[in-house]
Amino acid sequence: MNSPANNSYGQILKSTSLIGGSSLIKMAIGMVRTKFVAVLLGPAGVGLMGFYTAITGMVGTVAGMGISTSGVRQIAEAHGTGDQDQVARTVKSLRRTVWLTGILGLAITILASSFLSRISFGSTDYSLAIALLSSTILMANITAGQSCILQGTRRIADLARVSILGAFAGTMLSIPCYYFWGQGGIVPGLILTATAAFATTWWYARRIHVKPIILSLRKSREDAVVLLRFGIPLMLAGLTTALTAYLIRALLIRQVGLDGVGIWLAAFSISGVLVNFVLGSMGTDYYPRLTAVAHDNRLVSQQVNTQTEIALLLAVPGLAATIIFAPLAITIFYSGKFDAAVNILRWSVYGIFGRVISWPLGFVLLAKGMGKIFFCTEILSNVFYVFAIWLCTHLWGLPGTGIAFLLLYVVVSVVVYAVVNAISRTTWTRANFAHIIIFGALLALVGLISAFVAICWVRWTSNLLILAAISIHCIRRLSHKSGIDIHTLLARFSIR
């Protein structure tokens, strides 16, 4: 019989695999779309698309008002009570709020399109494109609201389906735009991608039975105030992140041009592919679970350590593989024009390792409703990141962007650990400390071998042996902690 600890690991592994697997498929579909953009439009096209995304992301964050997080929290709490009237009221208020804030975001983008074009590109030539992209902000806001309903009611399988179907539909609709219209197809492609995500989340959210309820605007306003009271600090934190992304692109476009921005984006897109397999589940299953025990610091520490270990065991083999196969990944997903992204990609992997460590801790602040503290940590980390990008690119050029990302998560990991420990007495277990040190050392070793061992067969043999050792350990540890028999599972797949 499995112990409660095994059941906890098994539950987390199952939900992580479900949502993380859908994220991996979604990222793979996205990389197919990116491949078409890279081949058809080159680094400049990738850079331009990244700039458009940064602009809409910045305004969209303001329009979102942090509701994508606070909405999950409110719906999860209402759903947990079993009170269908409370669930219906929360859902209806949420839907009204995301429509209102989404329309606000659309209006802001249209009115500020000339200004945004001028400060981004130095002219108003892109004003119409930015104004047209305002529709994606409204759709993204409504999509976030529908996702809150799915996530708050723990419809994990539906969220996985939405993620995959939305990405697939968006890719199928956008690729012809790039093929027939070149750079002129970027805006229609982004609009169609947002439309696909909107349609799929709406379809699945409408299948959730919500008790019909008549709710006055006054009561909706009261509920909206509760959402925004917690959401606005999160929005401000998200805005600093979105603003940071925009400022970095603006900084890089002046230092290395639009091609350089495209190469930087290529590296960071690939570095996040495999780790999103893990991190995607944290905001979907881990956050509601952590919120449910936020009052008990002992249980909070237990959840953090369990999630951290699962995250490390799932992510580290992928991170090691990313370092080893970086040149091949750049060629497959992009083209030879993006070869300069290899060094950025390898450096960024170490930053991703820090991200895996710090994310489970960061959710403690959200689960405990400490939005202001979360906002302060985000402000400090983003200010540091912009400074690190400026300094490292001056010292080492474009590869310095990867080094800056590493430095960012060294600082973030230390700061978040100290803050969360002070708030909830959460500490890593000895097993997690050991994993962090050993995995970090092995990733560093793989990077050194890849960079400095000139003899091809020695380099590949050494790295592949290390990758095999890491993978075997992680699989065995996952099997032991979760109580899932990996050999039986593999046998079932082989039979099928």
The pLDDT value given to residue 149: 77
The single-letter code of the amino acid at 377 is T
Helix, strand, coil % over all residues of the chain, rounded to 5: 90, 0, 10
pLDDT tens track for 112-160: 999 988 888 878 888 999 999 999 999 988 888 787 777 767 676 777 7
Burial group, residue 60, by CB count within 10 angstroms (0-12, 13-18, 19+): buried
The pLDDT value given to residue 482: 65
Q: Is the pLDDT of residue 424 over 90?
A: no
CA atoms within 13 A on the CB side of 203: 13
Q: How many angstroms separate the CA atoms of 446 and 466, rounded? A: 8
The pLDDT value given to residue 479: 79
Q: What SS3 class is residue 397?
A: coil
Q: How many angstroms separate the CA atoms of 117 and 29, rounded? A: 30
Q: Give the gyration radius of the chain's Cα atoms.
A: 22
pLDDT tens track for 27-76: 677 777 777 878 888 888 888 888 888 888 888 888 777 766 666 667 77
Q: Which helix (H) or strand (E) holds 258?
A: helix 257-281
Q: Most confidently modeled of 173-187, 237-251, 394-408, 459-473?
A: 459-473
Contacts of range 429-432, beta carbons closer than 8 Å, 24 or more positions apart: 429/305, 429/309, 431/309, 432/305, 432/308, 432/309, 432/312
Q: Is the pLDDT of residue 223 over 90?
A: no
Residue 82: Cβ within 10 Å count: 8
Check: CB of residue 346 under 8 Å from CB of residue 405: no
Question: Which of 16 and 306 is assigned the larger pLDDT?
Answer: 306
pLDDT tens track for 400-419: 989 999 999 999 999 999 99
Q: How many angstroms separate the CA atoms of 156 and 176, rounded? A: 32
**Which two tokens mark 24?**
């991996």
